[in-house]
Structure 1
Amino acid sequence: MINQYQAYKTNSVTTASPGELTLMLYNGCLKFIKQSKRSIEQENYELKNTTIQKAQKIIQELMVTLDQDTDIAKEMMPLYDYINRQLMEANLKNDSAILEEVEGLVTEFRDTWKEVIKLSRQKQYGQGANF
């Protein structure tokens, strides 16, 4: 069963569009932030460190892949940088409140990105498409 799930996950990533991959990154980042908050509550600081670093790596990937030639990139880059710095701060201070703030920002980005994908699909496949 685990091998089938792993094959499904691998296939999902390899067949995803760039927009879907970005959505997967946002969802992964949120998953690691939530795990970090739980780890702080449970005083499992080793796991907290690992999961915050994973969230940071996702944010850094989003920064690297941001198309610098677009106007939105000029607005997103400072926000990604802020999130990355806040994740470092939360890691150093074991601060769940900082993680809450970051989770809110990433959730907003994820939800906005979902809407962009939805609108793009409707435009591509016609107004009647329902995804």
Structure 2
Amino acid sequence: MYSTAARAYFNTKVTTTSQEEIVVMLYEAAIKFLEQAKVMIEEKDYQEKGNSISKALDIIAELDGSLNTEKGGEVAQNLHAMYMFCQSRLLMANLKMDIAIIDEVIQMLKSVGSAFAEVIKKQKGNG
């Protein structure tokens, strides 16, 4: 019963959320999975570390795949380059069990995610 209610809430949340807000939610989710991966490295739970990094990689791939390079121009190209960099760094972090590399990617995602959130806030203020 609870899972049905939770699913209904989630479906409503997703269908009533703007594309821009979903992008921010994706950044937040990727960061959450990377924070979990750091904990898993410390706890030496390497399977769950790998799962968490894989989830973050999937989100980054989704963000990259959603870029509109025609409309986005240089910004989209820069985001694509950043996503590729983040993916390669996370693959290295996964192999080396390197929390510092994960932190590096988290900081990049936080910076861009907060910039997106700021743009949304300004758009809503002017709407």
* TM-score, normalising length: structure 1: 0.90
How big is the shift at 1:4? 2.8
| Pairing 1:117–2:106 present | no
Q: Corresponding residue for 2:58?
A: 57
| One of 104, 108, 118 as aligned partner of 1:105 | 108
CA-atom RMSD, angstroms?
Answer: 1.1
List structure 1 segments (4+ residues) > 3 angstroms apart after TM superposition: none
Tell me the distance in 1 between the aligned counterparts of 2:96 and 2:116: 30
Cα deviation, 1:5-32, whole Å, max 9, x if unaligned, reads: 3322221112211101101110110110
Q: Corresponding residue for 1:96?
A: 99
Q: Of Structure 1 and Structure 2, which has the larger fraction of its residues in helix?
A: 2
Q: Corresponding residue for 1:30?
A: 31
Identity of aligned residues (%): 34
Q: Which amino acid aligns with 2:121?
A: K
Q: Which amino acid aligns with 1:76?
A: L
Unaligned runs of 5+ in 2: none
| Pairing 1:75–2:89 present | no
Cα deviation, 1:61-118, whole Å, max 9, x if unaligned, reads: 0111011022211211111110011111111111101001011101111111110100
Cα deviation, 1:33-68, whole Å, max 9, x if unaligned, reads: 000000000000000000100000000001110110
Tell me the distance in 1 between the aligned counterparts of 2:123 and 2:83: 23
What SS class does the counterpart of residue 69 from structure 2 fall into? coil
Greater relative CO, 1 or 2 (CA 8 Å, sep 6+): 2
Q: How many residues align?
A: 124
Q: Which amino acid aligns with 1:80?
A: Y
How big is the shift at 1:2? 4.4
Tell me the distance in 2 between the aligned counterparts of 1:120 and 1:27: 20
Q: Corresponding residue for 1:128?
A: none
What SS class does the counterpart of residue 89 from structure 1 fall into? helix
Tell me the distance in 2 between the aligned counterparts of 1:23 and 1:54: 16
Q: Which amino acid aligns with 1:44?
A: D
